[in-house]
Structure 1
């Protein structure tokens, strides 16, 4: 019997997320997945909601000497979110943050070009948008994405993730019109602990989920 507190893989997490969104009566004009790990779930959610799938991209800004520890994130259009507590605690300074912001914004733009190719970005004006990722920990990249989308005149933005710690999910609820999160465990150590299989998703695999809409 499947463990309801875990997901077998991203495909199952996406299917459960899509069913939860349908049950809540969430409608979508477009589903935006965060590459790479969000795209397998985004495909399942887009199919469940009968909506096209596209991407929204942000890159983490790592701390000096510890690139895996996020002190912020920047979206592909340069929109930035900064974790002021982490920024202060890691001894970062404004010059370092600005250099990394510019570098990671360029990386984010490159990823958008790689994934989207010649296809134009979807016009979100007046649209109902569902943003999907495979889970949140600090939620840094999701925060930068939501901040960018807030300026795109969408009618409604719903964040949908399978799992995240209660504090992060609560904070993200202030940045979206609604947040759908299937699991909010208090003993949260990392997203991967809630998946039986949590392999890294390659760019090639991630892009294959978008090709189904072409």
Structure 2
């Protein structure tokens, strides 16, 4: 399945979610700028707050190895494909590189979000949390979200995306209470491949969309 653009795909997901969640207390977490474009019509139709959680992979270039991801609150979540023993070994041997990469990535995230700051957990507390991506490639961003919301009580986690890999869907079946995926790919290509229009606005414009979402409630 291919989509005209991310907003059109988001409209389809919004229609799927409307009957059950229009009158429920929901908060939406988008996982990147493309995810915000998918989430925008969902938030408008469900009258939900919309936030974005940024994260960055920590990769050891010399080893071609992804150790995990760090989110904008500074928490690091290890790559679940590594055993605890493997991760401990790599993190000890490459400790200085690992720590430097973490500092660089959190600085990059802070530059990106600027005055937008981190997500307030109070916006999510006690609500149904709808996690939206423009494409779930693997389980890494899912694990980052679960780590981020761990300190709070919430009702349900609903995952929504126009497209996802089989591997990501398998993980979502375990970690989410409900999933809405329009197309599951056995051989997942680059996320942009599934959209005819890949025009994603600059991050500052995306953040403005988030700030103004209440004005666009339908």
Please indicate, yes or no, whether the TM-score normalized by the shorter chain is above 0.5: yes
Q: Give the 3 Å change call, closer, same or farther, for CA 200–124 of structure 1 in structure 2.
A: closer
Matches within 5 A, 1:1-214: 5-23=1-19, 25-26=20-21, 27-65=24-62, 70-85=66-81, 93-94=91-92, 95=95, 96-116=97-117, 122-213=122-213
Residues 199 and 213 from structure 1, CA distance in 2 versus in 1: closer, same or farther, beyond 3 angstroms?
Answer: closer
Do the aligned residues in 2 keep the contact of 1:33 with 1:53 (CA within 8 Å)?
Answer: yes
Question: Residue 54 of structure 1: CA displacement?
Answer: 1.9
| TM-score normalised by structure 2 residue count | 0.79
Compare the two structures and name the one with the higher helix fraction. 2
In 2, are the aligned partners of 1:131 and 1:160 still within 8 Å (CA)? yes
Q: Aligned to 1:126, what secondary structure does the other structure show?
A: coil
Q: Distance in 1 between matches of 2:188 and 2:11?
A: 22
Q: Note if contact 2:27-2:123 (Cα within 8 Å) is conserved in structure 1.
A: no
Over 3 Å counting, the alpha-carbon distance change for 1:56 and 1:188 in structure 2 is same
Give the gaps of 5 or more residues in structure 1: none
Whether the 8 Å contact between 1:64 and 1:92 is mirrored in structure 2 is no
Q: Which runs of 5+ in 2 are unaligned?
A: none
Query: Do the aligned partners of residues 35 and 112 (structure 1) sit closer, same or farther apart at CA in structure 2, a change above 3 Å counting?
Result: same
Paired with 1:104 and 1:16, the residues of 2 have a C-alpha distance of: 34
Q: CA RMSD in A?
A: 2.9
Q: Indicate how the Cα distance of structure 1 residues 58 and 145 shifts in structure 2: closer, same or farther if over 3 A, else same.
A: farther
| Whole-angstrom distance in 2 between the partners of 1:178 and 1:213 | 24
How many pairs does the alignment contain? 206
Structure 1 residues 63, 19: closer, same or farther in 2, change over 3 A?
A: farther
Cα distance in 2, alignment partners of residues 66 and 41 from structure 1? 35
Instruction: Supply the distance in 1 between the matched residues of 2:144 and 2:49 (Cα, whole angstroms).
Output: 22
What secondary structure sits across from 2:123 in the alignment? coil
Larger Rg: 2
